[in-house]
A and B are shown apart, each in its own frame.
Chain A
Amino acid sequence: MTRSSTQFVPAARVLHWLMAVMVLSMLFIGVGMVASVSEWHQCLIHIHKPLGIAILVLVVVRLIVRLRNPPPPLPADMPAVQKFAAHASHWVLYVLMLIIPLVGWAMLSAGGYPVMLSDSLRLPPIFPVNAAAFAILRHAHAWLAMLLFLTFLAHLGAALYHGLIRRDGVLRSMVGGRAK
């Protein structure tokens, strides 16, 4: 099968679904761990940090794939406002996936914590130790994550709208499979 202009390239699709699972897990892990005083607290924090760095690495790969492979065009009959919302929300998602891990890493650095990805693997600090900066970065980390959650909901809602109501091939362009 030759490449279809109605579908994202396979690399983009694999990255999308892999990161969809990682990012959604990450959002639940993040809010869950800060609201728990049980053994979950520690367990989730130990997943949160390496998973966040994995997302950071993957989003860089994904941006390269995205810039080298323009996505299939949206249907010509889609209203301009919806087209704009689609493009804008995609870039908001890319930017948030890139900066939320960086803010998390900077926040731990500013708090003077060693940034441990495992029992022995430590990342260097990327921000000077400063308590006020820690507080600002810690709040930013949470609020940006909330914005990511809301953008994800809009993204999912729009994808289902395309797949179930408009049935215009937009959802299929990422799900893959043969066009009818």
Chain B
Amino acid sequence: MNESSVSRPPPLGAGGVLLRLALIGIILLLIVLAFGYVGGWLAPKRLTAQRMVNQLQADNGVFPGYRRNHAKGVCVTGYFDSNGQAQAYSVAQVFAPGRTPVVGRFAVPSGNPYAPDSSVPIRSMAIRFSEANGQQWRTGMNAMPVFPVTTPQAFYELLQAQHPDPTTGKPDPAKLGAFFGAHPEAGPFLAWVKTAKPSASYATESYWSLNAFVLVDAQGNKHAVRWRMVSENGESTPGGSDPNYLDADLAQRLAQGPQRWHLVITLANPGDPTNDATKAWPADRRDVDAGTLVLTASEPQANGPCRDINYDPLVLPDGIEASDDPLLPARSAAYATSYLRRTSEEAHLPGTAVADTKPEAK
């Protein structure tokens, strides 16, 4: 075989050329349309992380450099002392007896970093465990026993219902009422929140994972779990009317000594829902005390070690896996979007929001 064997077929007529050009155009167009659909640009009704974070921004305003939710917070550092009791259920290095360093963050669940501490009766705790093998476990927990909704779509609709009415500056009670009327799964949360009071301290609260996860043991067996950080500090007391008391309280407590929580892992019974964070598991489920979280210092988040950490609940080490809870991938995706927006603002990239010189006025 040689070059001369490549012979050209007879030339096409003008009509043939046009027809074949059209065919090529159609093939390319179909690929572009498929790409646009998969990428969400041609699927305007699909709930995406970008649309979810846009709604948070619409509700709370845009505060450049801050997280789009749980914006007000404080960095903490310390360690986790594992007692080895969770080792039977998970091969994660963090559960082997010994110490794992942590960088954490306490926060107030609002997209507004200037929201008064008493504006929400909920606090949150995020922790990054750094295992010696380089793997990490990141978890974001809330001081409430159940989540209001089951699905990302319902959470998005809740954010829409919470959008402040331009005339009053507050959510429209009729819209909120309509939302909760259509979402009976929020019942346990509403019953809890009625009695909840904004606590005077981060250190007295206990924090729930809310979502279920799966522990994997050395034999490869899987165990559905939820976990919570249980404070050693007894009763929580309601905070006062001062807009900022949580950080000072925490600093004062830490000045007197480390603050401790027990990591309590609850094992599901067969049939307990792992895909519905609105439903608490029955109280008789087996609890495993995996060890003690010891926090030794706090720092303002503006330059603290937690600032640039995305507490994505799906950054998991070997031995801990996601469950089928639909909220988990949505949290992961929305946190990634929030992280990209705020780090882009930190980098002063063109097109990103610029910090207001007087943010307190907002």
Q: State the A residues within 8 Å of B (CB).
A: 1-2, 4-6, 27-28, 31-32, 34-42, 111-114, 116, 119-120, 122, 124, 129, 131-136, 138-139, 149, 153, 156-157, 160-161, 164-165, 167-169, 178-180
For window 229-260 of chain B, which residues contact chain A by CB distance below 8 Å?
Answer: none
Could you list 13 examples of A-B contacts with CB < 8 Å? A36-B49, A37-B47, A37-B334, A38-B330, A42-B314, A113-B310, A113-B315, A114-B134, A134-B343, A153-B28, A179-B5, A180-B6, A180-B7
Decide yes or no: A164 and B35 within 8 Å by CB, A114-B134, A131-B308, A156-B28 being known contacts. Answer: no
B340/A35 in contact, CB under 8 A:
no
- Give chain B residues whose Cβ lies under 8 Å from the Cβ of A138: 340, 343
Measured CA separation A90–B34 after assembly (Å): 24
Min Cβ gap A78→B in Å is 13
B2 on the A face (CB < 8 A): yes
Min Cβ gap A114→B in Å is 5
A28/B152 in contact, CB under 8 A:
no
- Give chain A residues whose Cβ lies under 8 Å from the Cβ of B20: 164-165
Count of chain B residues near A, Cβ 8 A: 61
**Chain B minimum-CB-distance residue to A159:** B24
Measured CA separation A84–B5 after assembly (Å): 25
Q: State the B residues within 8 Å of A (CB).
A: 1-3, 5-9, 12, 17, 20-21, 23-24, 27-28, 31-32, 34-35, 38-40, 43, 46-50, 52, 133-136, 152, 307-310, 314-315, 318, 321-322, 324, 326, 328-330, 332-334, 336, 339-340, 343-344, 346-349
Q: Could you list 13 further interchain pairs (A-B, Cβ under 8 angstroms) beyond the known A38-B152, A111-B310?
A: A5-B3, A6-B5, A34-B333, A36-B329, A36-B333, A37-B49, A41-B330, A42-B322, A111-B343, A120-B318, A153-B28, A164-B20, A167-B9
**Chain B minimum-CB-distance residue to A24:** B31
Measured CA separation A26–B343 after assembly (Å): 25
Decide yes or no: A135 and B340 within 8 Å by CB, A31-B38, A38-B326, A180-B7 being known contacts. Answer: yes
Measured CA separation A180–B6 after assembly (Å): 6
- Give chain A residues whose Cβ lies under 8 Å from the Cβ of B344: 135, 139
Min Cβ gap B349→A in Å is 6
A160/B329 in contact, CB under 8 A:
no
- Give chain B residues whose Cβ lies under 8 Å from the Cβ of A2: 1
B35/A39 in contact, CB under 8 A:
no
Select which of A1, A6, A160 is within 8 A of B3 by beta carbon. A6
- Give chain A residues whose Cβ lies under 8 Å from the Cβ of B326: 38-39
- Give chain B residues whose Cβ lies under 8 Å from the Cβ of A160: 23-24, 27
Measured CA separation A104–B43 after assembly (Å): 26
Measured CA separation A38–B347 after assembly (Å): 30
A4/B135 in contact, CB under 8 A:
no
A165/B321 in contact, CB under 8 A:
no
B6/A6 in contact, CB under 8 A:
yes
Min Cβ gap B151→A in Å is 10
B135/A122 in contact, CB under 8 A:
yes
Measured CA separation A36–B66 after assembly (Å): 23
Min Cβ gap B130→A in Å is 9
Interface centre among A129, A136, A138, A165 (most CB of B within 10 A): A165
A114/B136 in contact, CB under 8 A:
yes
B38/A28 in contact, CB under 8 A:
yes
Select which of A31, A122, A135 is within 8 A of B343 by beta carbon. A135
Measured CA separation A111–B310 after assembly (Å): 8
Decide yes or no: A116 and B135 within 8 Å by CB, A4-B1, A136-B349 being known contacts. Answer: yes
- Give chain B residues whose Cβ lies under 8 Å from the Cβ of A131: 307-308, 343, 346-347
Measured CA separation A18–B344 after assembly (Å): 36
Min Cβ gap A132→B in Å is 4
